[in-house]
Structure 1
């Protein structure tokens, strides 16, 4: 009688060797209640990488598939194959839901964990002409870009920062985010007041990793508790829409997820929390990928276990990139918080209907929703639809009382690294970076292959391919 393998074989994809970054075949298998990627490099041997700790959730991500949305133009031809043709090349399967615009390499911190390897010692600032060119490429690709995130380095250190904001505002960009460590916001209330003048359609993406000094020193190289406190106070004063962004390291700050969510719910200006497990790219002091990596399923379970709001049906895969994005959202109405994701019919997300979200017909839940909306806690009119509030979700037809102040979102945003790199998945990446030369490149591949001098290694891989063809 044939002997069975000790695992279930699910699919075959392409990955890369974590040592030499050569493309290798990879099997996705289910073993002992977990999902693994198994791959082998001819030079550096086999690797086995944990992909998901939740088999059921992994299978659910395979159900959250919707038609691919393309950019208006393609930027590079298909020649060497993914991930060597970024981008965007015609083989990519998702437009830019969010595009990062990096305006400087300089930073007023030197974080031990930094995908861009920024520091006070890097002092280059992109010129307004260069930034205008990069913005124009984003608009050329998207027409009316959903979200452009101004990033760095620390972008608020750019000497022409507000001129750059004005350049963004003068273009048909629906939503602008500022990715910041919050130091200038904390130290200069008038700066924060001026930022608030750019609303609506403007949001702060605020670094917020922990309440503990030792954790902040390990991740950021400094005790930033007072900075965070002052920054939140200034943001609340002007009700400047803010997302708290947690860089998550296993065994370090992963027990604080629930506390950060509850803290965010109590802040007037905070619209949500984004949790980003560390991507093994860039500067990684004190990081061991064998012990410190986290999967989306692990983070999702931590939210469910630690949060007083979100349960199993409240954190769903995001259809445009379900492997790496999960989201839940709620209504924040006075002292009451009502999870909203469970009220959405998932098929609406998958069928691409951009006009309607169907709320669950359960009379108790539906009655509770409208009871809360009628208490007077909520504003009387809506300035923005849920499409404007929630990256990657369809336009929603919702009661007019729901606006930006009501909505609280929790997002898990994982970026692929050399360990879990999956060509099948990276083709659906919707978070991109605009290269100084105008290419629009997925965040995952940019930090592995295209940042700074890393393209030298990429050219070696391309030359190997070209030689093999010859």
Structure 2
């Protein structure tokens, strides 16, 4: 009788040890329709990490691949091997879809969960000269950057906040965002009104984790329900495009996913919701990676089960980085919400052509959407073009007469940490952070290796790989 292993050995990759961050070989295995990473560090032993709760969806992600889009230049040479050469080095496989510029370490909250470890006790504000140099580095890499996000700390408390926005708007950036906890917007109606002056091509990325006081205290250290309510009221009043951003912890606020989507759909200014499972990096109080982490496929299933809007075919992998990004689009037609993603022909998407919505039986829906979208086809055609729809960015290009107000997106954005780190995946990372020295570094590796003196550990590993001569 053969002695079979309890799993199916599916793939082989490289990861890192969650303790010492040294590269280790890792098996990807399927066991009971769940996907695990098995890795062994010769110093710190064996680890088994759940990376997907849905093996079928994990396999589907391998089908959603498209040719990599490169930046205009590289920032570092390949010397030590991924992930120790950031960034971006010539071995990276994706340009910057979204780049963060952190303008301060200071924050008006001290969240128990914070990848940047920001707090009121940190004092540094980057100068306008430093910030412009970081923006210029992004432009040199991208030409016309798709999305740049002004972040922190809390960027709205920077004493030169408006100067920063004015400077960024003068750059050839297609879409500018501000990542904020919303306190300043809630407290100051005039502040919100002034934000509207930067529209279009501007968006608020608003922290919005829960409707429950206990969950907000655990994630943010304070009951922010009234702050959230007043911030959204002010953003709605001036119709400032807004994405609600939910940091997710298993068993704490994952049962509210559907509630947040339905709430967002009712808000005039809200263009979508982004769900981000906690990355085990930075400050992670009361977070146990063994029990509290959520995988992308778990969040996707919650969206499908809880929202009442999106079906399995409507939440699909994003081709530039399918391991870590999933998304769905819907069209808001008054009080009615029509999911669009399931109508898109994936073959056209993956071939790099224009995304095409395919209508099968619902001709009344086809007629209604044709009234709203200009097309290259006759009204009797069976397909409708919606340029640039399937991207992880807030950049669905739609005709002026329908407007960005009518498009609603849901995104799952999972960041890699030392537990689920996969070299294959981080090479495709398209969410990056601008380093003050001009490098553009993937978000995942920046938080592991480059923040707050962590590069000292990285240099030790580099010396082991390539000892000084």
Q: TM-score, normalised by structure 2?
A: 0.95
Aligned counterpart, 1:24: 24
Aligned counterpart, 2:358: 360
Question: Is contact 2:281–2:448 with CA below 8 Å preserved after alignment?
Answer: yes
**Alignment map for 1:278-317 (pairs within 5 Å):** 278-317=278-317
Question: Is contact 1:146–1:175 with CA below 8 Å preserved after alignment?
Answer: yes
Whether 1:427 and 2:427 are equivalent positions in the alignment is yes
Aligned counterpart, 1:181: 181
The SS at the match of 2:75 is coil
**Alignment map for 1:395-434 (pairs within 5 Å):** 401-434=401-434
| 1:389 Cα deviation after fit | 9.2
The SS at the match of 1:36 is strand
Aligned counterpart, 1:341: 341
Aligned counterpart, 2:242: 242
| 1:413 Cα deviation after fit | 0.1
Question: Distance in 2 between the 1:224 and 1:373 partners?
Answer: 42
Q: State the Cα RMSD in Å.
A: 1.9
Alpha carbons of 1:224 and 1:389: their partners in 2 closer, same or farther (altered >3 Å)? farther
Question: Distance in 2 between the 1:31 and 1:393 partners?
Answer: 36
Question: Distance in 2 between the 1:289 and 1:363 partners?
Answer: 45
For structure 2, the residue ranges without an aligned partner over 5 or more in a row are 376-385
Question: Is contact 1:13–1:424 with CA below 8 Å preserved after alignment?
Answer: yes
Which deviations, in whole Å up to 9, do the C-alpha atoms of 1:324-364 show, x marking residues without a partner? 000001001110000000111011221112xx222213141
The SS at the match of 1:21 is coil
Question: Is contact 2:326–2:412 with CA below 8 Å preserved after alignment?
Answer: yes
Question: Distance in 2 between the 1:275 and 1:30 partners?
Answer: 25
Whether 1:370 and 2:367 are equivalent positions in the alignment is yes
| 1:147 Cα deviation after fit | 0.1
Aligned counterpart, 2:379: none
Which deviations, in whole Å up to 9, do the C-alpha atoms of 1:388-437 show, x marking residues without a partner? 895359976x6664320110000000000000000011000000000010
Aligned counterpart, 2:388: 387
Aligned counterpart, 1:215: 215
Question: Is contact 2:374–2:399 with CA below 8 Å preserved after alignment?
Answer: no
Question: Distance in 1 between the 2:76 and 2:65 partners?
Answer: 26
Aligned counterpart, 1:159: 159
Aligned counterpart, 1:106: 106
**Alignment map for 1:87-102 (pairs within 5 Å):** 87-102=87-102
Question: Distance in 1 between the 2:4 and 2:392 partners?
Answer: 44
| 1:5 Cα deviation after fit | 2.4
**Alignment map for 1:316-331 (pairs within 5 Å):** 316-331=316-331
The SS at the match of 1:456 is helix
Question: Is contact 1:175–1:388 with CA below 8 Å preserved after alignment?
Answer: no
Whether 1:274 and 2:253 are equivalent positions in the alignment is no
Q: TM-score, normalised by structure 1?
A: 0.94
The SS at the match of 1:99 is strand
Aligned counterpart, 2:351: 351
Corresponding pairs, count: 459
